[in-house]
């Protein structure tokens, strides 16, 4: 039986080795070597000059993640309490924008936010504007929220649909107000969905480069843009790009570890 299990797992192990382990080892190798192949810490130690870009990337990704959570939590709860046929329709409507190409969706926001875009034209009817909305950090956060909001809704909906209404009714019978029902019952029970949603939104947000390039302009460069420039830009330096990728991966793993710790602490504490 064990031999059969190993044979069945062999394709996955080969795939994992070829497309996960090997590329990761290559990134580590190039991050700690120079162009001549000699060991060096210069690539990692030289990342201090890009600290502002790292901080900006983490800050904007965190803001987008919080906004997605605030928007998705009540929406997911309401969705989970609809009839089954309505749930399917609403899920289809939520997923519908994702059927469109990612670049096209982001480009559409460019046409909406520019000075001669539809939003400024509409505001102009009331004597407002034109407002400078494109090429700002707010536009980058808006692009992140729009593109990654479904990734927050789906895990929250998946976990909330399993929460029994009788638990909420029991809290009401015990005199709990709305705040206590949310903080003492719903949030602890939906914590696995929250941590999964945070991970699924934060990770692509902190490493994005298309959204920041199209909606943020050159003045709002994120770490994803810097990494791309090291491999495809005029400053071609794959060693420095590998060091940036390695540090970003460590930061993401630390953030994921923190969310998992919060989830574990909540499971140990139980529902009050």
Rounded to an integer, what distance in angstroms lies between the CA atom of residue 185 and that of residue 272? 7
- pTM for this structure? 0.87
Q: What pLDDT is stored for residue 264 in this prediction? A: 65
Predicted local distance difference test score (pLDDT) of residue 25: 93
- The pLDDT of residue 47: 87
Positions of the chain with pLDDT lower than 50, given as ranges: 269-272
Instruction: Categorise residue 39: left if φ over 0, alpha if ψ from -120 to 50, beta otherwise.
Output: beta
3-state secondary structure of 33: strand
Q: Alpha helices of 208-237 — where are they, by DSSP H?
A: 210-216, 223-232
Q: Which long-range contacts (CB under 8 A, 24 or more apart) does 250-257 make?
A: 251/54, 251/58, 251/206, 252/202, 252/203, 252/206, 252/207, 255/202, 256/199, 256/203
The per-residue pLDDT for 72 is: 95
User: Whole-angstrom Cα distance, residue 218 to residue 136?
Assistant: 10
Closest CA to 215 of 60, 33, 3: 60
What are the pLDDT digits (tens) for 44-56? 888 889 899 999 9
What pLDDT score was predicted for residue 265?
62
Q: Are 194 and 163 in contact (CB under 8 A)?
A: no
Contact 222, 55 (CB under 8 A): no
Which pLDDT value is given to residue 271? 45
């Amino acid at each position: 039986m064990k031999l059969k299990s190993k044979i069945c797992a062999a394709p996955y192990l080969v795939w994992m080795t070829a497309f996960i382990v090997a590329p990761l080892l290559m990134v580590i190798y190039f991050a700690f070597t120079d162009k001549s192949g000699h060991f060096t810490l210069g690539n990692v130690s030289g990342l201090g000059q890009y600290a502002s870009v790292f901080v900006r990337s983490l800050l904007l990704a965190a803001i987008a993640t919080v906004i997605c959570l605030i928007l998705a939590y009540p929406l997911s709860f309401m969705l989970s309490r609809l009839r089954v046929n309505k749930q399917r329709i609403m899920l289809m409507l939520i997923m519908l924008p994702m059927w469109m190409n990612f670049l096209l969706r982001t480009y559409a926001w460019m046409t909406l936010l520019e000075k001669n875009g539809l939003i400024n034209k509409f505001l102009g009817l009331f004597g407002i504007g034109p407002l400078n909305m494109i090429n700002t950090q707010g536009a980058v956060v808006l692009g992140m929220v729009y593109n990654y909001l479904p990734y927050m809704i789906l895990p929250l909906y998946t976990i909330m649909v399993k929460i029994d209404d009788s638990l909420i009714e029991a809290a009401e019978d015990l005199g709990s107000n709305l705040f206590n029902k949310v903080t003492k019952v719903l949030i602890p029970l939906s914590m696995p969905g929250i941590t999964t949603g945070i991970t699924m939104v934060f990770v692509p947000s902190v490493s994005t480069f298309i959204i920041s390039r199209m909606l943020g302009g050159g003045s709002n460069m994120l770490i994803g843009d810097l990494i791309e420039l090291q491999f495809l830009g005029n400053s071609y330096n794959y060693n420095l790009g590998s060091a940036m990728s390695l540090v970003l991966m460590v930061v993401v793993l630390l953030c994921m570890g923190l969310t998992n710790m919060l989830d574990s602490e909540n499971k140990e504490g139980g529902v009050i």
